[in-house]
């Protein structure tokens, strides 16, 4: 991916890369699923997927399947995908639309879109049984910037508390109004942390991304978030380029009233643990990472534009999509090489370069979260 010039005052002296077992151990991977992905707010997609009453999609967070659905009052809910009777999986289809209820195909226990049990055949014969005692199990759900986040913890840290440092940070980009006009999925044979770490430095850019390096100098810009769960900052576009696209020109009208320097910057933020948010003058790109096992990660990449962009005859989303698809694939390849390397018995952690301070900061947050 990308990033940033690091300054000495944000660099942790003596920081070394993580030991190899953090990228290869099934035991550590299991701990991550419980202590990080089972407790943190996880980005699961865009609100626009649930435009109408009954619209739903499934998301898999570790071993847990969730149903995210819009109910009859317009509210959004996330339910664990299991019936309260004997635990049967309720829904198999990845997305769709419920008419008005969610019904278990095993014994016909039926729930409304708020998760309340409204039908349980023959259970009136069971002494002391009350439908009100058996709603669907609910997961934490929050909406921010048009993105949906879930939390599996029974007592999650409130979203507004967890995201306080960035809750209003990106308002210029009008994130809730943007619409997805490009999407790609990738299977990367690398640990999820290697992908985040790769995104968080541009030390590699001149060799791995020559086209990117021509458009934005790899030592340009600076960080404005350099500790905790939110890390990142901006890089400058070279004067002859208007955006990060194949053509080098902006592929859509500006998504905000940028002026001066802001119009010639691209901002990159890693939102712990699995969201990578890239904000350009003319579009926003978002990666979400879905660990499959210690050495494999599914990556979903989405490109968001102003919904009115389609009325512009010059609008070409593929100009951005193709540029980043090329860049993504370059990154995935080098991440896979890194996975092979850290799996070697001869791998030994080494010092981070001064341009890799966000990696040291990510490692600190990761180790703190892992406990």
Q: Report which secondary-structure segment, H or E, holds 70.
A: strand 64-70
Evaluate if residue 72 carries a pLDDT over 80: yes
Mean pLDDT of the region 150-164: 98
Evaluate if residue 5 carries a pLDDT over 50: no
CA distance 123 to 20: 54
Evaluate if residue 16 carries a pLDDT over 70: yes
pLDDT digits (tens, 9 = 90+) for 279-332: 999 999 999 999 999 999 999 999 999 999 988 888 999 999 999 999 999 999
Domains in the chain, CATH or no CATH each: 8-39+172-370 (3.90.380.10), 42-156 (2.102.10.10)
Evaluate if residue 99 carries a pLDDT over 90: yes
State residue 314's pLDDT score. Answer: 80
**Token code pair at residue 79:** 């339910």
Mean pLDDT of the region 5-13: 46
Q: Write down the H helix ranges in 37-101.
A: none
* Half-sphere exposure in the Cβ direction for 17 (13 Å, CA): 19
User: Percentage of the chain with pLDDT > 70?
Assistant: 96
Greatest C-alpha distance within the chain: 77
Question: Given the DSSP bridges, would you call strands 222-227 and 179-188 parallel, antiparallel or unpaired?
Answer: unpaired
Residue 277, Cα to own-chain centre: how many angstroms? Answer: 8
State residue 12's pLDDT score. Answer: 60
Evaluate if residue 6 carries a pLDDT over 50: no
User: Percentage of the chain with pLDDT > 90?
Assistant: 89
Return all residues near 13 (Cβ < 8 A) that are at least 6 apart: none
Q: Report which secondary-structure segment, H or E, holds 206.
A: helix 205-208
Evaluate if residue 138 carries a pLDDT over 90: yes
* Dihedral of alpha carbons 340, 343, 348, 352, sign: positive
Q: Which of 50, 272, 79 is nearest to 180 (CA)?
A: 50
pLDDT digits (tens, 9 = 90+) for 192-251: 999 999 999 999 999 999 999 999 998 887 999 999 999 999 999 999 999 999 999 999
The vertex-326 CA angle with 177 and 226, nearest 5°, equals 60
User: Among 5-9, 83-87, 174-178, 244-248, which is the least confidently predicted range?
Assistant: 5-9
Is the peptide bond prior to 273 cis by the omega test (within 30 degrees of 0)? yes
How many Cβ atoms are within 10 Å of 257's Cβ, its own excluded? 8
Q: Which of 31, 46, 276, 272 is nearest to 162 (CA)?
A: 272
Instruction: Provide the terminal-to-terminal Cα distance of the chain, rounded to the nearest Å.
Output: 28
State residue 257's pLDDT score. Answer: 77
Q: Residue 188 forms beta bridges with which residues?
A: 297
* Half-sphere exposure in the Cβ direction for 278 (13 Å, CA): 24
State residue 3's pLDDT score. Answer: 39
């Amino acid at each position: 991916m990308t990033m940033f010039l690091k300054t000495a005052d944000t660099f942790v002296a003596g920081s070394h890369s993580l030991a190899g077992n953090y990228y290869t151990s099934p035991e550590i991977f299991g701990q991550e699923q419980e202590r990080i992905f089972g407790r943190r707010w996880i980005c699961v997609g865009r609100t626009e997927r649930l435009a109408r009453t009954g619209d739903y999609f499934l998301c898999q967070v570790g071993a847990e399947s969730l149903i995210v659905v819009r109910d009859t009052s317009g509210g959004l809910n996330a339910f664990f995908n299991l019936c309260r009777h004997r635990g049967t999986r309720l829904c198999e289809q990845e997305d769709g639309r419920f008419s008005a209820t969610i019904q278990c195909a095993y014994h016909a226990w039926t729930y409304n879109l708020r998760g309340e049990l409204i039908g349980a055949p023959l259970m009136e014969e069971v002494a002391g049984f009350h439908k009100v005692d058996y709603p669907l199990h609910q997961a934490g759900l929050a909406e921010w910037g048009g993105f949906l986040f879930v939390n599996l913890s029974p007592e999650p840290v409130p979203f507004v508390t967890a995201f306080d440092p960035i809750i209003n940070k990106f308002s210029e980009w009008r994130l809730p109004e943007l619409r997805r006009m490009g999407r790609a999925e990738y299977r990367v044979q690398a640990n999820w942390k290697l992908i985040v770490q790769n995104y968080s430095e541009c030390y590699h850019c001149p060799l791995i991304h020559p086209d990117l390096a021509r458009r934005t100098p790899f030592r340009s810009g600076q960080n404005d978030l350099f500790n905790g769960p939110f890390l990142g900052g901006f890089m400058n576009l070279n004067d002859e380029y208007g955006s990060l696209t194949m053509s080098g020109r902006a592929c859509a009208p500006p998504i905000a009233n940028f002026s001066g320097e802001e119009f010639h910057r691209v901002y990159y933020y890693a939102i712990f643990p699995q969201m990578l948010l890239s904000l350009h003058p003319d579009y926003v790109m978002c990666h979400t990472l879905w660990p499959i096992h210690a050495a494999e990660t599914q990556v979903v990449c989405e490109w968001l534009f102003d919904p009115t962009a389609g009325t512009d005859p010059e609008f070409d989303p593929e100009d951005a999509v193709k540029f980043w698809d090329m860049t993504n694939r370059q990154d995935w390849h080098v991440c896979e090489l890194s996975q092979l390397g850290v799996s070697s018995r001869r791998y030994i952690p080494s010092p981070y370069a001064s341009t890799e301070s966000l990696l040291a900061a990510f490692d600190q947050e990761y180790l703190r979260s892992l406990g």
